[in-house]
Amino acid sequence: MTAREILKILHKDGWYEVDQEGSHMQLKHPTKPGKVTVAVHGKKDIPPGTLNKIWKQAGL
C-alpha cells in the first residue's frame, strides 16, 4: 500500500494535514487525540510494520 492510498483512507476518516517537513506529513483529527505521521515517498509501498503503526495511531 502506498502513502497516497493511506492518505486517501485517512482523509475519508476525517484526518487533515497540519504540518509537513520534507517527505513526512502530519495529520490531525478533529475529535481523535494525537497526530499521525505518514512518510510520502512517491509510489513506494509502506512496510507492513510502519503501516500497522499508522493504523494504530489513527485508531483504525
> How is the chain split into domains, by residue range?
1-41
Q: Are 57 and 39 in contact (CB under 8 A)?
A: no
Stated length of the chain: 60
CB atoms within 10 A of CB 40: 16
1-41 fold: Metal Transport, Frataxin; Chain A (3.30.920)
Over 90: is that where the pLDDT of 5 sits? yes
> For 13-58, what is each residue's pLDDT tens digit?
999 999 999 999 999 999 999 999 999 988 899 999 999 999 999 9
Q: Are 10 and 50 in contact (CB under 8 A)?
A: no
Phi-psi region of 22 (alpha: psi -120 to 50; beta: other; left: phi over 0): left
Residue 43 is predicted with a pLDDT of: 87
